[in-house]
Amino acid sequence: MQFFSHDGFELAFIDEGEGDPILLIHGFASTHFVNWVAPGWVKTLRDAGFRVIALDNRGHGRSSKSHEKADYTPSRMAGDAAALLDHLGIARAHVMGYSMGARISAFLALEHPEKVATLIFGGLGIGMIDGVGEWDEIAEALLAPDPAAITSERGQMFRKFADQTKSDREALAACIATSRELLSQVQVASIEQPTLVAVGTRDDIAGSPDMLAALLPNGAAFAIERRDHMLAVGDRSFKARALAFLEEHPLDGA
What are the residue ranges spanned by the domains of the chain? 2-131+184-248
**Proportion of the chain above pLDDT 70, given as a percent:** 100
| Architecture in CATH for domain 2-131+184-248 | 3-Layer(aba) Sandwich (3.40)
Task: Give the C-alpha separation, 193 to 216, whole Å.
Answer: 9
Q: How many CB atoms lie within 10 A of CB 75?
A: 13
Does residue 65 have a pLDDT over 70? Answer: yes
Does residue 209 have a pLDDT over 70? Answer: yes
Average pLDDT over residues 185-193: 98
Task: Give the C-alpha separation, 74 to 175, whole Å.
Answer: 10
Residue 19: predicted pLDDT: 97
**What is the dihedral sign for C-alpha 208, 232, 202, 150?**
negative
Residue 136: predicted pLDDT: 83
Lowest-confidence range among 54-58, 103-107, 150-154, 231-235?
Answer: 150-154
- Cross-strand bridge partners of residue 97: 25, 121
**Burial letters 191-219, b for 16+ CB under 10 A, else e:** bebbbbbbbbeebebbbbbbbbbebbeeb
Does residue 252 have a pLDDT over 90? Answer: no
Average pLDDT over residues 159-175: 93
Residue 134: predicted pLDDT: 74
pLDDT band at residue 254 using 50, 70 and 90 as cut-offs:
low
Q: Is 228 exposed, middle or buried (0-12, 13-18, 19+ CB in 10 A)?
A: middle
